[in-house]
Structure 1
Amino acid sequence: MNVKQPLLGSSGTLFFLVIVSAFPPLTTDLYLPALPTMVEMLNTTQTMVNLTLSVYFVTYALGLLFWGPLSEKFGRKPIMLLGLGIYVLASLLCAMANNIEMLIGARLIQAFGGSAVTVVATAIVKDLYNGREREKIMATIMSLVIIAPMIAPVLGAFLLKIGSWHMMFSALAIFGAFSTVLACGFSETIPKRYTGSILRSWGRLAVVSNNPRFISLLLIFTLPPMTLMSFLAAGSYIYIDGFGLSEQTFSYAFAFNAFFASFGPTIYIKLSNRVKVSNIISVCYLILMLIGILTYNLGHLSPWLFACLAAPATLMVIVTRVPGINLMLEQHTSDTGSAVAVIQFCSMMAGAIGMTLVTLHPDNLIHSLGIIQFSIGALASIMWFMAKNRAFVVDHLTTS
């Protein structure tokens, strides 16, 4: 660990990073079981309810670009605490919403605050750890964070039974308050703050984006999350409306997907000790293509077959995420906050596009998901084949 954490310690710091890294999955997955119900309760349409997801992701993505460079100038801790305060307030507003317009607006504010939390969390990992140790810490964080999508839908379905969807956002406010307490014990990690103006700090985004090696990797590793977000947007409608499952049963199917994915980072770390990382990535993208074909042709036969196809598709995305993020961060020795912001922004925008594309034909959600999985797998495979033997990739893969 590059910067000691006297209050949290090494274990407490890892726990803190897991908690703040869990904001995106918790904020989206907790209320997924309620999406079909919210259409009726708010007297609106499926498209409008889905806006609470897509608006969140778009705002979240833009917020990353806003907060990332500021964390270089003002420090990680102040930006983290400010983001948490906004998030808690917005979650309470979501809980009090009585119409779809107010909910969408509150979700927008919630996304803006939440983006500060997660962009700083990833930057802290880069501040504290190097090389292979960073990969192992990232894998540990991802493995534990994936527990959130397993628990969140089950908890959401339970809250829906004993109350209403409003309770889900109250739970998020409590989670945000708990994270704030942990953040107060965190010690600043940024080695040297940016001394330029605020406007110039945002200009560092352009500096980061002018690195052609970084951009080529960005194109390869930020497209696959589109398949994951497509599944998030379509999953509840496929299971509940399409297959006729209850909200509780849907939550179990969704938890199965997250449980399967939770092994992804560990599988990567184990395999990378014996198999070339470039080959691991190549195989993952090829498997994603195959799953796309199977989903398109067989996914409609039963909910359990669909679940058994969706789970490994998610796994493939998660496995490539650890080496992908590490490779991208290795392309910059400074401007970590800006680099993380660009990475997460592109991932979230790709996800938002995927969520929109998969719902363009609501009567054929499974077919749309299969097409997206195949297309993204094929495109990522081609780009990775072109880049995997380049020096800026090989050097960091062999030394990480």
Structure 2
Amino acid sequence: MADSKVQPRMGNTGFIIFLALLSAFVPLSTDLYLPALPEMTKFFAVPEIVMNLTLILFFVFYSIATLFWGPLSDRYGRRPILLVGLTLYMLASILCGIATNAYEIIFFRILQAIGGGVATTVATAVIKDVFVGRKQETTLAIVQSMVVISPAVAPVIGSLLLTFISWRGIFFAQALLGLSVIYGSIIFKETHASERGTTSVMKSFGRLGALLINPGFTALLITFSLMSIVSLSYISSSSYIFQNTFHLSSRMFSLFFSFNAIGMLLGPLVYIPLSKYIDRFTIVYTAFGFTIVAGILVMVFGRMSPIAFALTQFPATLASSAVRPPGTYLVLKQEENDNGSASALYSAGGTIFGSVGMVIVSLAEATPVAAIAWINIVMGAVCAVLLLVSMTFLRKKIVV
């Protein structure tokens, strides 16, 4: 990839950082204000489940939005769609910061999700536009390893901000994030030729259905999307577990959360060198096994102390992160065209299933540690079986 040919105004390094920021929109839109959730719950005097809707509905509408942004980016190009979605995200973040009740925040978070849905979808599509083969998989791993730094630093930053400002300032910080990426989108050089005039909008959306009838694509999509239940159920419940169950301060919570986020960072970084010598499917099956073991450890030791919970959850965090690069590569490799639509379905699948995990732990608020343990065990086993079935049934169609 030459700077002069791909992104002359960004350069290689700036291009990767830009893609990482786009891909990090989900964790930065959630983890940054996780330390404030208990405070916001008390401030508005609402049940935990009501305030958790700011997370759950964010992911639901984020996943729905990706299904629209992906095909639209295929038809109109990546850059104009980015500018529209990111502007909506920035404005919605400001509205969250000036909301007067919990239900206004829920509504504005939905708008934030719709706008932010453009980011991850377009970032993945751009990677597939520019790179091929091993370089594509490696770039996905590098970008995702940079992305998962945000769960490590976002709660710490959010906790520090809370010592100087109220929870409202967290949303203004998200607005600044949106503004910075809007600037990146302005100087971004288009990577996809617009299909305007060659196909209708409805036909562009119809490509979503065409992708789903591809058995190889759909089988792998479901398998790897299910792993989002592991990561997002932990993310959504972590502030309540550490602050309410173990009675830690918001700052101490951010430190414990950052420890587990190290696993999110290490996953892709571990995968890159291992994949040079070990078959990617062996690595993926091993990661599923780690998730099951982590669930058992959380069940037995996780309720003893915050340290015990963080340590026993760590393998699951590491494993769910490690399967992201090969999972993304394998799913997208099933369809060489329609990069935006394929990326949209993959983003939507992960957030939809992740939202299911968030609902499960919200309903199990009396025993959140046990809920996390069972999610790890069940999802690790289910994903391993599904991948095994997919490989047996679709072996000739899977590009390895």
Q: CA deviation at 1:387?
A: 2.8
Equivalence for 1:370: 373
Could you say which residue in structure 1 is the equivalent of 2:167?
165
| Aligned CA distance change for structure 1 residues 24 and 393 (closer, same or farther; 3 Å) | farther
For 1:149, the equivalent position in structure 2 comes to 151
Give 2:338's match in structure 1, choosing from 335, 347, 351: 335
Shift of 1:193: 2.4
Report the counterpart of residue 386 of structure 1 in structure 2.
389
| Aligned mates of 2:92, 2:246 — CA distance in 1 | 34
Q: What corresponds to 1:43 in structure 2?
A: 45
Q: Displacement of 1:117 after TM fit?
A: 1.7
For 1:326, the equivalent position in structure 2 comes to 329
Normalised TM-score (structure 2)? 0.96
1:278-315 deviations in whole A, cap 9, x for unaligned?
A: 11111111111111111122110110111012222111
Provide the secondary structure at the position in 2 that maps to 1:6: coil
In structure 2, the residue matched to 1:349 is: 352
Q: Deviations 1:326-379 (Å, cap 9, x if unpaired)?
A: 011111111111111111111100000000011212110011111111010010
Deviates more, 1:40-49 or 1:54-63: 40-49
CA deviation after TM superposition for structure 1 residue 143, in Å: 1.0
Structure 2 residue 302 is the aligned partner of structure 1 residue 283: no
1:388 CA drift (Å): 3.4
Amino acid of the structure 2 residue aligned with 1:318: S
Inter-partner Cα distance in structure 2 for 1:283 and 1:191: 40
| Structure 1: stretches of 5+ with no match in the other structure | none
TM-fit CA distance, 1:220: 1.1
For the residues of structure 2 that align with 1:358 and 1:395, how far apart are their CA atoms?
34
* Amino acid of the structure 1 residue aligned with 2:235: L
Kindly provide the amino acid, as one letter, of the partner of residue 22 in structure 1: A
Does structure 2 retain, via aligned residues, the 8 Å contact 1:30–1:168? yes
What residue number does 2:87 align with? 85
Bigger mean CA offset, 288-297 vs 314-323? 288-297
**SS in structure 2 at match of 1:262:** helix
Contact 1:261 1:311 in 2 (8 A): no
Which residue identity is paired with 1:90? A
- Give the deviation of 1:48 after TM superposition: 0.5
Task: From 93, 107, 110, give the equivalent of 1:108.
Answer: 110
Instruction: Give the partner amino acid of 1:228.
Output: S
Counterpart CA distance in 1 for 2:256 and 2:231 is 15
Counterpart for residue 269 of structure 1: 272
Q: 1: CA distance between counterparts of 2:26 and 2:134? A: 25
Cα offset, 1:60, TM superposition:
0.2
Distance 1:102 1:189 in 2: 37
Alignment of 1:253-268 (within 5 A): 253-268=256-271
User: Amino acid of the residue matched to residue 45 of structure 2?
Assistant: N
Query: In structure 1, how many angstroms separate the alpha carbons of the residues matched to 2:207 and 2:200?
Result: 11
| Residue in 1 that maps onto 2:138 | 136
Paired with 2:25 and 2:396, the residues of 1 have a C-alpha distance of: 30
Q: CA RMSD in A?
A: 1.4
The aligned amino acid for 1:376 is: M
| Residue equivalent to 1:231 | 234
Q: Which amino acid aligns with 2:391?
A: K
- CA–CA separation in structure 2 for the residues paired with 1:391 and 1:225: 23
Q: Could you say if the C-alpha distance between residues 394 and 316 of structure 1 is closer, same or farther in structure 2, counting changes exceeding 3 Å?
A: farther
Identity fraction in percent:
38
What code does the residue aligned with 1:141 have?
V
Give yes or no for contact 1:51–1:104 (8 Å, CA) kept in 2.
yes
Mean CA deviation greater in 386-395 or 304-313: 386-395
Partner residue, 1:181: 183
> Does residue 127 of the first structure (1) align with residue 136 of the second (2)?
no
Separation of aligned partners in 2, 1:342 and 1:137: 20
User: The residue matched to 1:188 in structure 2 has which SS?
Assistant: coil
Unpaired runs of 5+ in structure 2? none
C-alpha displacement of 1:386: 2.1
Deviation at 1:396, TM superposition (A): 2.5
Pairing partner for 1:252 from 239, 247, 255:
255
**DSSP 3-state at the match of 1:275:** coil
- 2:207 counterpart residue number: 204
Q: In the alignment, is the contact (CA less than 8 A) between 1:27 and 1:172 conserved in 2?
A: yes
| Equivalenced residues, count | 397
Extract structure 1 runs of 4+ deviating beyond 3 A: 388-395
Q: Partner amino acid for 1:29? A: D
> Partner letter of residue 133 of structure 1?
K
2:216, 2:394 within 8 Å by CA — same for their partners in 1?
A: no
Q: Which residue of 2 aligns with 1:5?
A: 7
Q: Does residue 28 of the first structure (1) align with residue 24 of the second (2)?
A: no
- TM-score w.r.t. structure 1 length? 0.96
Are 2:330 and 2:398, in contact at CA under 8 Å, matched by a contact in 1?
A: no
1:243 and 2:246 equivalent?
A: yes
- Contact in 2 for aligned 1:327/1:393 (Cα 8 Å): no
Aligned letter for 2:46? T
For 1:363, what is the secondary structure of its paired residue? coil
Is the 1:261–1:312 contact (alpha carbons within 8 Å) kept by the matching residues of 2? Answer: no
Cα displacement (A) at 1:182:
1.1
